[in-house]
Structure 1
């Protein structure tokens, strides 16, 4: 049987030729080097395999990260391994376990099984841990051979954080032996505390509302860290499943890791949630944030990418002061499992067999699960140009959502109101890389293709809004585009800070987007240009849209509950909460139709801009689909960066 011992024995063998880190090499008596190894946002990516494309990949997989973990452990005299959340949802294996196999009492979830082999010391919750319900989460966590902590998710809130009825322990104190530079061992108490974005109460309202509660991250940290110190913690490491935002503190921040670092008593911070790499160039240097040294308010911090793409690493040089330890100096960084060499992804490590073998049966069962046909498509389904033109991969989602909500509205007080549908492309390149696109050829459609079309297990919702709010919704969506002066030459079209999943296309109306106007809203939903109006010629049934007309809009729980900060979407406008996931709605639609023909209907396009030309990046395989795009002429324009291809549009 493959166990943690099997892996650790391999670590000893694998580390035989690896030199010690300078902290370990130069530590004196009463000084010790402690390494904090971390993963974050694994999303069930254990195998280096893209289940949506049904092929191996070199860019992700905990089995590959395991090789780095093994080697980094061998470079130091003392280390711990932690996970920062979002581990049990995010790919078809996660859905197969949740929806097909299930979790009976005593079952081991494959991601937990793999983590047990690696010998994790602690973990915390991410927001996606709640996607399948808290009961499912509890069964998964029961199989972990390590503590999982969270200080701000509660069964109910008390008058103050320490009075909350927390669902998990807020922190854990690990009593360990640490070896100093002279080879002597000493006791050390390492405190680990975890946090999850309080927005889970919106994003998974279906599972949480009325039964659970979440507290502000920083408020929880300020309450519990002093108790950890009082309980004898020498070192406190915060596991913050939250991004990095150095703007002034506000209550219930989603990305609060910068402010967690400012809490007295915190020594180091493991961050995540944003699927970025820290330290790294994606972050701008600001007071208190050093993206080169990897510090937040002077504390070492790391964010190890996503899906096992990187291992986060914090090195602490500790000094014994009497009977306690303190941080003398620190370093922070990440270790990638692959790199781009010209146009090719090159793996830097090979998978660890012990991790692969631990979940091979679940991997093979997942392959069977995703390969099942559910229908046929008469048109190609691809998302290479989903951000610049009406797109078949978004079209079919909108068609399915509109049909479902129309059926659900029958016999209700909203029956007879016009029904629109809002959907966004999930696989549109970006941080996922040049192959991260939907691409389904005409013919059979399998579950893997449906998962490809709708990446997340969101649940269907309907909201009731007026025509004016429909316009503002589209204005927010149009913020993904940069302002393009009339007649400009090869201007950059897309704002990289605006995520593709917030680019909603609303089906059931027609409209144009005037890029010569500045964005009306920022990527965070803030009104930035009140006088700007990018959405023009907005029509419903061939006539100018009546802004007082009421519309039912089909969408998902994330958007309807406030995700993305869209006008009219704060939870208060929801009139229908569906029992089905949007993905199930899509599968049912394809099954019922047998053969679907989701060719884009071209209900939106860019307004003329004096012959201006714009450039954008997409996948190289998009060149094969240029003739299929409606409403805009797209031309290949050479090579982009990091394996992407460049395309040009004349406006």
Structure 2
């Protein structure tokens, strides 16, 4: 731990490095602060483009205040972003699909990072959603290094011999000042990593063009090289989550084994949109929440969307020309504290030019204001009409109106393009997930489109990602396994019990796949077959007790065409049969564009009453379902569960008691 001296006005500990008890006589200690943003997903301004209103607790412009404060508290600091910055809001889609990047243009997120003077960034998996060429154009405007060691355009005998997509690492030569004002040279090594699954998730765009290596194997190759090149300390920008302690080849969430790689001094993590240090990681092997370390190395994960920043404080000493880390501290700071501590300036689109353009906060406003205004114009454009509300408040309960619109658009598109005579006669099914269904997105994180005119922002609300269309040819057995994977989104409900939460909080909503127009019945008294990552945990478990198409049971031996997206077809989520060999249709068409045309071509959307989800009745049994507070306006959609509102949770979700006696 660091030697602490006092506490500042926001409650963060300041410290005097020379008070650290591990120093030798006459030895100086120097404080270096490492600041992280991660998983920004194009949230630059505090604005919800789907709801078309301000959203004060997110955005890089708000995080800029925290960054400025964190820098002010420390004599020496470096600022890094940990990936997934390019995609995630309609602004990102507008720049990629409508405005484009002309010669000399700087992408808004890169312009914002330039304004904040980032020291380096790494690539996440979502950087590739708009294609490789767009990514290259976007990062070409960076005034800082972009690093990623395990992604290459040509593989060699080992990682060191690969021709990497961007630089594998960077050596930053800096001067750091000690408490007495003396400057000391230091070479900071920065290396980046992305989940190797990126080449599967965006297979349509990257196949044969980008290759991925295992994160740990790559680190073991490059970290010694960085030391040989004079790196005094090494910081890993690891777009990977905190998962299993035991390494296996190609693991997606590899933070724990990565921290064990000799030579890495600090670890910035991300990808899973969580916060570390935090109690949710308590008890995990290799993780010390109280110390803020993974495998003994200081680590941090700064949430997502600019709602937090991560801070690692390193206390360094120099002995015989070598820098050593002799104390560390890790913490995460929410932007809500920055918002509470200073007047909240309205966003530039509402107030025009800020009064004081000096601060980083105002600089970010300035460089993204034009893109923001253009995005607002784009998302407000009318595209169609809906005869009914479309929402995701009860997607896990069989209220599929919003999902069915997407499913119907996918199915119509694919059915028209199946040219293989061997496929034309097969049933065409369509899989879609509620991308916005609360969970980690909070009580406002739901699709909620009112009946009436539909603008482009409503279409973006129905389908939040720029995935391209894909179709798979699956056996009936694989279709049923796909449903079993989705059914694992629920907790096990004991007959006669009350108070059990219906949804498994660790199971992301985007892995709950509805297959339209199937009628599906689930027995939630049975254990789940899969865990949240899609790994089999109960091989004999069966929750799907019935699945019918057009009144007939799904035949395990028959073949079906399943419409999905490129991300899922490439293996994301570990769904049965989702692999390139089963792909029968793939192309450049973006699902949201397909949906937009479908909405425009349909006089007024009205979901057909076909297909659905039921639970096997359990007499005298109830469960708790948490959803957005605005769901109270739509309780008639789930009247068969006799929903009883039971107030709000601490985090703002509406609690409903559901009667499971009737299924």
Normalised by the size of structure 2, how large is the TM-score?
Answer: 0.92
Question: Compared with structure 1, are the counterparts of its residues 542 and 287 closer, same or farther at alpha carbon in structure 2 (3 Å cutoff)?
Answer: closer
**For residues 134 and 401 of structure 1, what CA distance do their matches in structure 2 show?**
25
- Return the offset for 1:598: 2.4
**For residues 179 and 26 of structure 1, what CA distance do their matches in structure 2 show?**
16
Root-mean-square deviation (CA), in Å?
1.9
Tell me what 2:110 maps to: 112
Runs of 4 or more, structure 1, over 4 Å off, are 15-20, 23-29, 345-351
Question: Compared with structure 1, are the counterparts of its residues 291 and 599 closer, same or farther at alpha carbon in structure 2 (3 Å cutoff)?
Answer: farther
**For residues 83 and 17 of structure 2, what CA distance do their matches in structure 1 show?**
29
Given that 1:389 and 1:631 are in contact with CA atoms closer than 8 Å, whether structure 2 keeps it comes out as: no
- From 618, 623, 645, the counterpart of 1:614: 623
Tell me what 1:207 maps to: 205
Q: Does 1:167 align with 2:144?
A: no
Secondary structure of 2:280's match? coil
Q: Deviations over 1:157-193 (max 9, x none)?
A: 1011100011111111111111112211111111100
Q: Does 1:450 align with 2:459?
A: yes
Question: Compared with structure 1, are the counterparts of its residues 184 and 532 closer, same or farther at alpha carbon in structure 2 (3 Å cutoff)?
Answer: same
**For residues 54 and 19 of structure 1, what CA distance do their matches in structure 2 show?**
34
Tell me what 1:408 maps to: 417
**For residues 407 and 491 of structure 1, what CA distance do their matches in structure 2 show?**
44
Q: Does 1:581 align with 2:590?
A: yes
Secondary structure of 2:248's match? coil
Secondary structure of 2:41's match? coil
- Return the offset for 1:221: 0.5
Question: Compared with structure 1, are the counterparts of its residues 446 and 543 closer, same or farther at alpha carbon in structure 2 (3 Å cutoff)?
Answer: same
Question: Compared with structure 1, are the counterparts of its residues 421 and 316 closer, same or farther at alpha carbon in structure 2 (3 Å cutoff)?
Answer: same
Secondary structure of 2:34's match? strand
- Return the offset for 1:234: 0.8
Tell me what 2:308 maps to: 310
1:1-80 alignment runs, 5 A limit: 21-24=14-17, 26=19, 30-80=28-78
Tell me what 2:153 maps to: 155
- From 488, 506, 511, the counterpart of 1:479: 488
Q: Deviations over 1:417-439 (max 9, x none)?
A: 11011111000111111111111
- From 194, 197, 219, the counterpart of 1:196: 194
- Return the offset for 1:23: 4.2
- From 522, 535, 553, the counterpart of 1:544: 553
- Return the offset for 1:24: 5.0
Tell me what 2:511 maps to: 502
Given that 1:20 and 1:75 are in contact with CA atoms closer than 8 Å, whether structure 2 keeps it comes out as: no
Given that 2:646 and 2:657 are in contact with CA atoms closer than 8 Å, whether structure 1 keeps it comes out as: yes
**For residues 355 and 538 of structure 1, what CA distance do their matches in structure 2 show?**
52
Given that 1:626 and 1:635 are in contact with CA atoms closer than 8 Å, whether structure 2 keeps it comes out as: no
Given that 1:279 and 1:303 are in contact with CA atoms closer than 8 Å, whether structure 2 keeps it comes out as: yes
Unaligned runs of 5+ in 1: 1-14, 340-344
Q: Does 1:515 align with 2:527?
A: no
Q: Deviations over 1:377-401 (max 9, x none)?
A: 0010011111222321111111111
Secondary structure of 2:95's match? helix
**For residues 599 and 52 of structure 1, what CA distance do their matches in structure 2 show?**
25
**For residues 67 and 45 of structure 2, what CA distance do their matches in structure 1 show?**
16
The 10-residue stretch of structure 1 (634-643 or 261-270) with the greater mean CA deviation from structure 2:
634-643
Given that 2:169 and 2:192 are in contact with CA atoms closer than 8 Å, whether structure 1 keeps it comes out as: yes
Tell me what 2:122 maps to: 124
Secondary structure of 1:568's match? coil
Question: Compared with structure 1, are the counterparts of its residues 411 and 161 closer, same or farther at alpha carbon in structure 2 (3 Å cutoff)?
Answer: closer
- Return the offset for 1:561: 1.2
Secondary structure of 1:387's match? helix
- Return the offset for 1:270: 0.3
Secondary structure of 1:114's match? helix
Tell me what 1:4 maps to: none
1:54-453 alignment runs, 5 A limit: 54-338=52-336, 347=340, 350=344, 352-410=361-419, 412-453=421-462
Given that 1:134 and 1:207 are in contact with CA atoms closer than 8 Å, whether structure 2 keeps it comes out as: yes
Tell me what 1:8 maps to: none
Given that 2:122 and 2:192 are in contact with CA atoms closer than 8 Å, whether structure 1 keeps it comes out as: yes
Given that 2:174 and 2:186 are in contact with CA atoms closer than 8 Å, whether structure 1 keeps it comes out as: yes
Tell me what 1:5 maps to: none
The 10-residue stretch of structure 1 (150-159 or 624-633) with the greater mean CA deviation from structure 2:
624-633
- Return the offset for 1:588: 1.0
**For residues 224 and 62 of structure 2, what CA distance do their matches in structure 1 show?**
37
Tell me what 2:533 maps to: 524
**For residues 12 and 276 of structure 2, what CA distance do their matches in structure 1 show?**
25
Residue correspondences, number: 632
Tell me what 2:647 maps to: 638
Secondary structure of 1:629's match? helix
Normalised by the size of structure 1, how large is the TM-score?
Answer: 0.94
**For residues 480 and 506 of structure 2, what CA distance do their matches in structure 1 show?**
22
Question: Compared with structure 1, are the counterparts of its residues 63 and 25 closer, same or farther at alpha carbon in structure 2 (3 Å cutoff)?
Answer: farther
Secondary structure of 2:39's match? coil
**For residues 71 and 322 of structure 1, what CA distance do their matches in structure 2 show?**
34
Given that 2:518 and 2:611 are in contact with CA atoms closer than 8 Å, whether structure 1 keeps it comes out as: no
Given that 1:41 and 1:305 are in contact with CA atoms closer than 8 Å, whether structure 2 keeps it comes out as: yes
Given that 1:18 and 1:75 are in contact with CA atoms closer than 8 Å, whether structure 2 keeps it comes out as: no
Given that 1:29 and 1:180 are in contact with CA atoms closer than 8 Å, whether structure 2 keeps it comes out as: no
**For residues 640 and 215 of structure 2, what CA distance do their matches in structure 1 show?**
46
Given that 2:245 and 2:285 are in contact with CA atoms closer than 8 Å, whether structure 1 keeps it comes out as: no
- Return the offset for 1:584: 1.0
- Return the offset for 1:18: 11
Given that 2:409 and 2:595 are in contact with CA atoms closer than 8 Å, whether structure 1 keeps it comes out as: yes
**For residues 64 and 26 of structure 1, what CA distance do their matches in structure 2 show?**
33
